[in-house]
Structure formats: C-alpha cells, structure tokens
Chains A and B, each alone.
Chain A
C-alpha cells in the first residue's frame, strides 16, 4: 500500500534555531500534502495544505513566515519551523493524497522539542 515517510521522527533544537521536517511519498506521487500539528492529548489541527509547484495554503491563525512549507516535487514536501521557540514544541504530522477524493496516507509524525 501507499507509504508516507516522515523524517526525522524526533528532534530537539535550541530556541532561536530553525528545524526542517521532510514528508515523502515513497511509492506514489502526491500533488497535495497536508501538515498537521497535534498538542498532547488533543486532536490534529490542520496547519496548511501544500501543493506541488505552488504556494502553500495556510489555515487561519498559522504564521506563514514561521512555518515555511515547500512542495518542490511530487514526492516531497518540507516544513521548516523558523526561529523555533519552546511553544512550538509539538507533534507534527504530514499526510499525502494517494488517490481518490479522500485517499490520504499519514506519516508517522515528528516530535519537536525546543529547549
């Protein structure tokens, strides 16, 4: 079946630095990928929709300059958390559309801790 690889699985960074998270569709092409943020014991909140070859569409309240999304190819989308702060610590999950209207496959997530 469709597989989405997310890397790294976990990362610790210092406050003020930037962190890049990769989301790859391994065996299919994905024109659309989604980035979610999940706080402990809470649901997934959609941050942005990543479209190959065009700018990402951000949800209301999400800072575009802080969470940079690049979808340069049909198999790779990246999320860069710029100038990270402790409040950015969270679990970030990507998903890619494999086919059909709602054929989404999720990555295994990235645990970001900013110290």
Chain B
C-alpha cells in the first residue's frame, strides 16, 4: 500500500539558516510526489511537484526538492529560511484508485523559525 513518512514532527531553525525536511514514500510504481504548505487554520498550498524528468524540482517561495529513487525520498530544501516560512509542511504521494487519482499525505512537519 502507498504511504508517506515524514520522520520529523517538529523542526526549529534560525532565520537565514538552511532547511531540509525529510520525506520517504512507499509506492509500487513511479511515484507522483508533492510538497504542500499549510499556515494555521488555512488550506494547503502547493509548493512543488515531481512527475518525471529532472529529479531536482524547483518550486515557489525559493523551495526545491530532490527525488531519489534509490532512497525512496523526496526531501524539501531551502537555502535560507525566512520568518514567514513558519508553517506546517506536508509531503504527499499520488495514488491511483480506480478512475481517480488521490493524494496520500504524510503526518506533516511543523517548522518554527527563530529570529
């Protein structure tokens, strides 16, 4: 069965420091992978996605992620974190179910940014 694991429940970084959020997936075929960000009490915003091709994917807000098939990982990175990046981040894998494509989410990583 498809699943997504985000090992880090909570991460705190200093403003200006680099960031890496981990994501591991379990999927039988070539996965469709996503990173979403959620601000408190809000819906989800897509940061980036990987379907195929270049394994390093660029997203919005300066984020990037790298697909590593050998490690079943899709880690999210940002070179320099801003205070406004404090939010919850969800990794997701796309899963085909009948005629519908569904998203299966990880448990999320809550990012805190210290001044």
Contacts and interface: CB of A to CB of B under 8 A. Distances in A.
The answer to whether A and B assemble together is: yes
Contacts of B115: none
Contacts of A43: 90, 105-108
B44 interface: yes
Interface stretch (B16-24, B65-73, B78-86, B95-103): B95-103
Given A32-B100, A43-B105, A102 B44 contact: no
Nearest to A104: B103
A57 interface: yes
B34 to A, nearest CB: 7
State the 9 A-B residue pairs at the shortest beta-carbon distance, nearest first.
A106-B43, A106-B44, A108-B43, A43-B107, A43-B105, A44-B105, A102-B94, A107-B43, A109-B43
Where chain B touches its partner, the secondary structure class is strand
A111 interface: yes
A87 interface: no
A46 B43 contact: no
B101 A111 contact: no
B44 A93 contact: yes
How many chain B residues sit at the interface, stated as a range, is: 20 to 34
Interface string B45-73: 11001010000000000000000000000
A109 B42 CA distance: 6
21 contacts: A9-B41, A41-B108, A42-B107, A42-B108, A43-B105, A44-B44, A44-B90, A46-B102, A46-B104, A49-B100, A93-B43, A95-B44, A101-B94, A102-B49, A102-B101, A104-B103, A106-B43, A106-B44, A107-B43, A108-B42, A109-B41
A34 B102 contact: yes
Contact of B45 (A6, A57, A101, A106): A106
A16 to B, nearest CB: 26
A102 B34 contact: yes
Contacts of B104: 46
B99 to A, nearest CB: 9
